[in-house]
Amino acid sequence: MSAINMLQNRIIDLTNEEQTNRVYIPNYSNIFNHVRGCSFCECPGHNIRTCRHPDREKLHECAQFMYLITCHYLDSHPHTEKTHKKWLDNLSTSEYKILAKLNRLDTNSKTTREEYQEKLHAHYIEYAEDELRNVTSTNATPILFLYMEILLRGLVTDIDSMIYAVTKLAMIIKNSGRHLMDMPRFRYWLNNHMNDYYRISQFRENPKKFPTITHNPSLARGVHDECPICYTEMTNESVVQLGCAHSFCGDCIIGQIKSSRKPTSECAMCRATISECRTTSKKLLTKLLSSFV
C-alpha cells in the first residue's frame, strides 16, 4: 500500500470514528490494592519489559501517522512545522521505552530521556521519508488543519470562538500521546473546552446595561394609576416613570430588570428599551440605585 493510500485510509478512519476509537475508563484498582503495576499500561503482574498491552501498537501507529502527515507537509513547506517533534517530546519515558523496544532501537538501562527522543525522532523521520519517497502529490496539509476539518464543524460560531478552539486543539494534539487517532476522545476534550468558553463568554460579552436613575419631584400626583404589572395602586413613594413615559411600581421595575437575561430590558407596555427611570421619592431612588449596582 502506498503512503498516500495509507494516509487516506487512516484519515477516513478518523472521520468515520471507527469502533476501535473508543474512550476507555482506566483501571485504578491497583492504586487501592497497593500493587505496583506496569509503568506503561498500569496493569499489575508485569513490568514494562514484558508488557503486551495493545496500546503498544496503538502508540506506534500514532507515531507513524503523526510523522507521515507532518513530513508529507514539510516536503513542500520546509521548516514550517514542528508538531511531530512536540508530540514526541510530550510522551512519557515509559512510552519511549515501549517504542524503542517495538522498533528494536539500540537502547539500554542507561539511555537518557533526551537520547530516547533523539533516537525515536530520527527513526520515525527515516520511516516517513522512506514511505513518501515516491509520492509526488502536493496535496499536503498540517495535522492541525486536518483535525480542524474533522472536529470544528458546527462547534464554533464566530472568529473569537474559532481562535480559542484552534488554540485548544493544537494543545490537545501535542499532548494526545497514544490517543492521537481517538476522535471520540478528542471530541470530548474539545467540547469540554468550548463549553467553558461559551459559559464564560456569555457573562463577558453580555453585561447588563442598567438604566439611568433620576430624581424628578415634578412627577408627584394626587392620584396615580395601578401598576400595569402587579395591579397595585401606585403612590408618589412607589411610582417609577420610564423614559417612554409609562409608569410602574418600583418593585416590579427592579424585578424585571434584574431577572432579564438580556443586556437591556424592555417596557412591558410598548417594548421600548428601558434607558431611564424617574422617581419622585428619594427613598425609592436609593433603592433603585442600590439594586442595580
How would you write 193-244 as a 3-class SS string? HHHHHHHHHHHHHCCCCCCEEEECHHHCCCCCCECCCCCCECCCCCEEEECC
What residues are paired with 239 via a beta bridge?
249
CB 235 within 8 A of CB 229: no
pTM: 0.61
Does the pLDDT value for residue 106 go beyond 90? yes
Inter-residue contact 77 to 60 (CB < 8 Å): no
What is the distance between the alpha carbons of residues 173 and 193, in angstroms, rounded to a whole number?
14
**Using CA atoms, how far apart are residues 42 and 35, in angstroms rounded to an integer?**
10
In degrees to the nearest 10, what's the CA dihedral of 103, 106, 111, 115? -70
Homologous superfamily of 212-291 in CATH? Zinc/RING finger domain, C3HC4 (zinc finger) (3.30.40.10)
How many angstroms separate the CA atoms of 138 and 82, rounded? 19
The grid coordinates of residue 45 equal: 503482574
Measured from the Cβ of residue 78, the count of other Cβ atoms closer than 10 Å reads 8
Q: Which residues contact 249 (CB under 8 A, 6 or more apart)?
A: 227, 229, 230, 232, 234, 238, 239, 240
- The length of the chain, given as a count of residues: 293
Instruction: Name the residue among 135, 163, 133, 158 with its Cα closest to residue 148.
Output: 163
Residue with grid cell 430588570, as numbered in its chain: 257
Max mean pLDDT range (106-120, 150-164, 217-231): 106-120
| CA pseudo-torsion sign 146, 152, 153, 156 | negative
Q: What angle do CA 2, 7, 8 make, to 5 degrees?
A: 100
Q: Is the pLDDT of residue 230 over 60?
A: yes
Provide the 8-state DSSP code for 269: T
Q: Is 61 exposed, middle or buried (0-12, 13-18, 19+ CB in 10 A)?
A: middle
Residue ranges per structural domain of the chain: 3-202, 212-291
Going by pLDDT thresholds of 50, 70 and 90, the confidence category of residue 22 is very low
CA 107, 111, 113: angle at the middle one, nearest 5?
Answer: 120
Task: Look at residue 179 in the predicted model and tell me its pLDDT.
Answer: 94
The overall average pLDDT reported for the chain is 84
Cell numbers describing residue 252: 416590579
- Tens-place pLDDT, residues 184-214: 999 999 999 988 888 777 655 556 788 899 9
Q: What is the pLDDT of residues 30-43, one digit of tens each?
A: 545 556 788 888 88
Q: Please list, in sequence order, all residues whose beta carbon lies within 8 angstroms of the beta carbon of residue 39, skipping any fewer than 6 positions away.
A: 47, 48, 92, 94
Angle at 190 between CA 186 and CA 193, to 5 degrees: 150
Q: At residue 195, what is the residue type?
A: N
How does residue 99 score in pLDDT terms, banded at 50, 70 and 90?
very high
